[in-house]
Amino acid sequence: MAGESKSPMPVVTPDWTRLAADAVRGQQPPSDRDLEIAPCWTVGDWKNLKLDPKKPNSEDWKTALKIFEARIRGRFLDPADVLIAHEISQYRKTFGFAILAIDFLVIETLQGFREGRKDHKGKKVSECLVVEFLNCWEAFKVCLSDKDKDKAKDYAKKVYGGYRCGLHHTGSTDGELRILAIGPTFEIKRETDIAINRTRFHEELKHEFNRDIDTLRSSGEMGKKRRDNLIKKMNAICES
């Protein structure tokens, strides 16, 4: 109704005010050890673990992998699953850009864990991580024709620049690079004509993450190397 008075908006007390009040009352504010590094897991939980890369079957390693899985699934893969599930009953699919933006974050993140990268700063570090992941990913390799397999790195760079950088920096893809909800994971006709089925891409990425977890649980040399690098990466996250 015109002229009707509106009730005042409720005042929201900022977190810093609450923390200051806690300190005045003699209560300690949360420490760095209380910061979450994954849903329901904190820096303190990670730092309490005694991890020997040579003993993947220890209880502490089982906990470490639960933390790692919770971080990747809870912050990235599960949200993308929600977007995909929400679209199932919709005639028009519009979440593809958001889904792929999340998945390219996952790709760079996973490769960073594989290599034990303490940070992703530096010229072309992100590009190297994404290109390396794609060149080792069966879902990408099988979509290259025999005559294009020797150009896999060039296509991977195009995917990095046109999809990953395009989506993260401008919210768009380059040129004729398309995002679809049908077709193969990758459809590559030429460097300027690539399509990604974001639903299959996401499912294949989840399978690849499961393989990473299996490798981290394995007793072979690759498993030990990946565990070494997981420790380096997670320690850096906890110290940042």
- CA 227 to CA 169: how far, in whole Å? 32
- Residue in the structure block whose two tokens are 């070494």: 228
Query: What is the model's pTM?
Result: 0.85
Q: Residue 28 has what pLDDT? A: 58
Question: If DSSP codes are grouped into helix, strand and coil, which group holds residue 48?
Answer: coil
What is the residue-level pLDDT of the chain in tens, covering all 240 positions? 444 444 444 444 445 554 454 555 455 556 778 899 999 999 999 999 999 999 999 999 999 999 999 999 999 999 999 999 999 888 888 999 999 999 999 999 999 999 999 999 988 999 999 999 999 999 999 998 888 788 899 999 999 999 999 999 999 998 789 999 999 999 988 777 899 999 999 999 999 999 999 999 999 999 999 999 999 999 999 997
- Residue in the structure block whose two tokens are 């060039």: 154
Q: Residue 240 has what pLDDT? A: 79
Kindly tell me the burial class for residue 73, based on how many C-beta atoms sit within 10 Å of its own C-beta (0-12, 13-18, 19 or more).
middle
Question: If DSSP codes are grouped into helix, strand and coil, which group holds residue 131?
Answer: helix
Is the Cβ–Cβ distance between 129 and 148 less than 8 Å?
no
Q: Residue 189 has what pLDDT? A: 83
The sign one gets for the Cα dihedral 21, 37, 58, 47 is: negative
Q: How many CA within 13 A on the CB side of residue 66?
A: 14
Closest CA to 194 of 156, 165, 139: 156
The sign one gets for the Cα dihedral 136, 140, 142, 146 is: negative
DSSP E strands in the chain: the ranges are: 36-38, 41-42, 178-180, 186-190, 193-197
The residues near 86 (Cβ < 8 Å, ≥ 6 apart) are: 95
Q: Residue 29 has what pLDDT? A: 55
Secondary structure letter of residue 118 according to DSSP: S
Amino acid (one-letter) located at 201 = F
Helix (H) or strand (E) holding 83: helix 78-87
Q: Is 147 within the bounds of a domain?
A: yes
Q: Is 1 within the bounds of a domain?
A: no
Q: Is 54 within the bounds of a domain?
A: yes
Length of the chain: 240
Secondary structure letter of residue 71 according to DSSP: H
Looking at the 3D structure of the chain, how many domains does it have?
Answer: 1
Q: Residue 7 has what pLDDT? A: 45
Q: Could you tell me the residue range of the domain that residue 48 belongs to?
A: 35-106+120-239
Q: Is 23 within the bounds of a domain?
A: no
CA dist list (Å): 115 to 13, 101, 177: 42, 22, 29
Q: Residue 15 has what pLDDT? A: 52
Q: Is 202 within the bounds of a domain?
A: yes
Please state at what angle helix 221-239 crosses helix 198-217, rounded to 10 degrees: 110
